[in-house]
């Protein structure tokens, strides 16, 4: 029994919706929720901030007049802005190298199954899954200038008590130490995954050629780990530029503006001083700085040989 011939409408439908196009449509439907999320919660706020930066705008008063690039011109003479940018760059410049080197050392150590490695891995991962607000509160108690844990440690070894987050020269290093402790687990996981992806045949060939441990690390591990290192560096720099909760919880930008990082300064302008237009302009400048730094990192760690 012969089947019925397809109608003209069915033939046109089949010609338009080919097998390849149907696969593309199915794939697009899978990524559509992510696209909606990025559009509503990432791209639209960026465009909204760019628009708000051109207006005299506040949350209470709304848009009160177009002022063009006045907010951007104002930044050049804003010493508080330059101070917050300087503090942020010092924080990122101190945190990222130490964190990445420590994470790489831990990844190399824990990638080899040894006695106690599971316990060490769990101890390193615990801060990563802990709320940053909880971590900030606990470390603020530990840094307490009179009854903190670190004061007890100093007293036990015969050293005088020392102010940490209440001292203008020690507050930012204290926050840096806390955030390295908090974030090193994330970098370690990514680097461990990269180490697992390096074929052992390269190490075997290096051993046959007489390479020692340092030569194998420098000539085999690091070159093959460059794409992973680039990912870790770019993401950690972006995350570090966005540090806010520890400063808000522990120091409020003090003492003497020594911890007033750029995101906390944006918060002050937008929500405390109700100058959301200027805060939006600060956000756009911060975004441009991050894009430039990220582009520079990717060029330096370019994996195309």
Please check whether residues 25 and 174 belong to one and the same domain. no
Please report, to the nearest 10 degrees, the dihedral formed by the alpha carbons of residues 75, 80, 83, 84 taken in order.
-90
175, pLDDT greater than 50: yes
96, pLDDT greater than 70: yes
What are 273-296's pLDDT values in tens digits? 989 999 999 999 999 999 999 999
In a domain, 145, yes or no: yes
Please check whether residues 156 and 288 belong to one and the same domain. yes
pTM, rounded to two decimals: 0.87
Q: Do 259 and 87 form a contact (C-beta atoms < 8 A)?
A: yes
In a domain, 185, yes or no: yes
303, pLDDT greater than 60: no
Of 138, 165, 180, 182, nearest in space to 259 by CA: 165
**DSSP class of 3:** P
In a domain, 249, yes or no: yes
Residues 6+ apart with CB under 8 A from 191: 103, 104, 107, 225, 228, 229, 232
Please check whether residues 50 and 117 belong to one and the same domain. no
Written as six digits, the tokens of 232 are 């870790």
305, pLDDT greater than 50: no
Average the pLDDT over 174-199 and give the result.
93
Residue after which a domain boundary falls, among 41, 66, 91 = 66
Residue 68, sorted as left (phi over 0), alpha (psi -120 to 50) or beta, turns out to be left
Please check whether residues 119 and 252 belong to one and the same domain. yes
What phi, psi does 253 have (nearest 5°)? Answer: 90, -10
217, pLDDT greater than 80: yes
Residue 252, sorted as left (phi over 0), alpha (psi -120 to 50) or beta, turns out to be left
In a domain, 72, yes or no: no
**Separation of first and last alpha carbons in the chain:** 63
Beta-bridge mates of residue 98: none
| Structural domain of 12 | 8-66
Of 279, 269, 230, 251, nearest in space to 176 by CA: 251
In a domain, 2, yes or no: no
pLDDT of residue 17: 64
Of 289, 282, 238, 291, nearest in space to 262 by CA: 282
114, pLDDT greater than 70: no
What phi, psi does 32 have (nearest 5°)? Answer: -60, -45
1, pLDDT greater than 50: no
Average the pLDDT over 199-212 and give the result.
89
Q: What is the mean pLDDT of the chain?
A: 88
Number of domains composing the chain: 2
Residue 158 pLDDT level (bands cut at 50, 70, 90) = confident
In a domain, 3, yes or no: no
Ranked by mean pLDDT, which of 41-45, 117-121, 247-251 comes out on top?
247-251
| Sign of the Cα pseudo-torsion (101, 222, 193, 289, in order) | positive
Please check whether residues 48 and 97 belong to one and the same domain. no
Residue 85 pLDDT level (bands cut at 50, 70, 90) = very high
Average the pLDDT over 259-283 and give the result.
94
pLDDT of residue 59: 80
Average the pLDDT over 147-161 and give the result.
88
pLDDT of residue 16: 63
Is the previous residue joined to 256 through a cis bond, with omega within 30 degrees of 0?
no
Check residues 61 and 114 and name the one with the higher pLDDT: 61
Integer CA distances (angstroms), 190 to 181, 197, 229, 273, 277, in order: 16, 11, 9, 40, 38
pLDDT of residue 283: 95
Written as six digits, the tokens of 196 are 């697992």
pLDDT of residue 72: 94
Please check whether residues 15 and 91 belong to one and the same domain. no
Please check whether residues 136 and 33 belong to one and the same domain. no
Output the domain CATH number for residue 240. Answer: 1.10.3720.10
Please check whether residues 30 and 57 belong to one and the same domain. yes
Please check whether residues 83 and 55 belong to one and the same domain. no
Please check whether residues 151 and 45 belong to one and the same domain. no
């Amino acid at each position: 029994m012969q089947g019925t011939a397809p109608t003209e409408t069915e033939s046109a439908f089949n010609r338009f919706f080919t097998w390849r196009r149907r696969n593309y449509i199915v794939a697009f439907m899978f990524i559509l929720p992510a696209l909606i999320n990025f559009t509503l919660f990432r791209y639209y706020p960026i465009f909204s901030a760019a628009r708000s930066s051109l207006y005299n705008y506040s949350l209470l008063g709304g848009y009160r007049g177009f002022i063009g690039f006045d907010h951007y011109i104002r930044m050049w003479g804003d010493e508080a802005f330059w101070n917050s940018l300087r503090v942020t760059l010092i924080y990122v410049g101190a945190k990222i190298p130490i964190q990445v080197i420590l994470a790489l050392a831990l990844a190399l150590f824990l990638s080899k199954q040894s006695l106690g490695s599971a316990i060490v891995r769990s101890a390193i991962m615990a801060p990563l899954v802990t709320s940053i607000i909880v971590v900030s509160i606990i470390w603020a108690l530990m840094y307490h200038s009179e009854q903190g844990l670190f004061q007890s440690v100093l007293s036990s070894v015969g050293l005088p008590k020392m102010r940490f987050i209440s001292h203008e020269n020690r507050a930012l290093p204290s926050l840096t130490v806390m955030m390295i402790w908090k974030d090193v687990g994330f970098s370690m996981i990514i680097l461990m995954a990269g180490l697992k992806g390096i074929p052992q045949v390269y190490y075997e060939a290096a051993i046959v050629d007489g390479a020692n441990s340092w030569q194998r690390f420098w000539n085999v591990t690091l070159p093959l780990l460059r794409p992973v290192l680039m990912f870790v560096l770019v993401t950690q720099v972006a995350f570090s530029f966005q540090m806010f909760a520890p400063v808000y919880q522990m120091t409020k930008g003090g003492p003497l503006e020594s911890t007033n990082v750029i995101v906390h300064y944006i918060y002050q302008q937008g929500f405390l001083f109700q100058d959301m237009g200027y805060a939006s302009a600060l956000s756009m400048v911060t975004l441009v700085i991050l894009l430039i730094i990220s582009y520079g990192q990717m060029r330096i760690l370019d994996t195309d040989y």
